[in-house]
Amino acid sequence: MMNMKSFALLLAAALLPAAAARADGERLRPATANPSYQQECGGCHLAYPPALLPAASWQRITADLGKHYGSDASLDPATTQTLTRWLLLNAGSGKRAREAPQQDRITRAAWFQRKHDELPAGVWQRPAIKSPANCAACHTGAEQGDFSEHRVRVPR
C-alpha cells in the first residue's frame, strides 16, 4: 500500500513536466533532443525548436536547403529525409500552426511580432544581437528550448 507522501511525490512528478510544457508554450522541445538536427542546422543559427514553425513551412524549407535564406545549407539526401521527418513530426501546433509566416520566417509570424512589440526600435541592430534570428542573444535558455521571459537578458 502506497503511503500519502510517496503518492504526492509521484503525482507531482507526473504533473510537473506537463505544467512546464504548457506554460504558454515557452518551454519547447529543444533542438538538443536531436543531435543530428543540432549538428546540421545549429552551425549557422540556433537550431530552432521545431514547434516554432508549422509543418508546411518545414516542408518548404527542407525541400530547398541549397538556397536557404541566401546561403547553401544542402545536406545529403538521407540526412535531409531523416531531419524532414523529425521536423514534420514535431512541427508547431495551435497558434503556431494556424498559418505559415511570410517566407517561412519565424520572425514574420504574428505571435513572434506580438511577443516582441515592446522592444525599443533598433534593438535588433545592437552589435551583440545583430539579427532577430539570434534568439540566444537575449533568450539565455534558448539552446535548451527555454524561452521564458524570466530568462530574457537583452544585451545593451
User: Where do contacts with another protein occur on this chain (CB under 8 A)?
Assistant: 43-46, 66, 69-75, 129-131, 133-134, 136-137
Q: Which is nearer to another protein, 75 or 97 (CB)?
A: 75
- Give me the least distance between CB of 137 and another protein, in Å please: 6
CA distance 127 to 150: 23
Q: Which is nearer to another protein, 91 or 129 (CB)?
A: 129
Q: Which is nearer to another protein, 81 or 131 (CB)?
A: 131
Q: Which is nearer to another protein, 65 or 87 (CB)?
A: 65
CA distance 11 to 4: 10
- Give me the least distance between CB of 99 and another protein, in Å please: 24
CA distance 31 to 37: 7
- Give me the least distance between CB of 144 and another protein, in Å please: 16
- Give me the least distance between CB of 69 and another protein, in Å please: 7
Q: What stretch of H or E contains 16?
A: helix 4-22
The three grid cell numbers given for residue 82, joined into one nine-digit string: 531523416
Q: What stretch of H or E contains 111?
A: helix 110-115
CA distance 53 to 45: 15
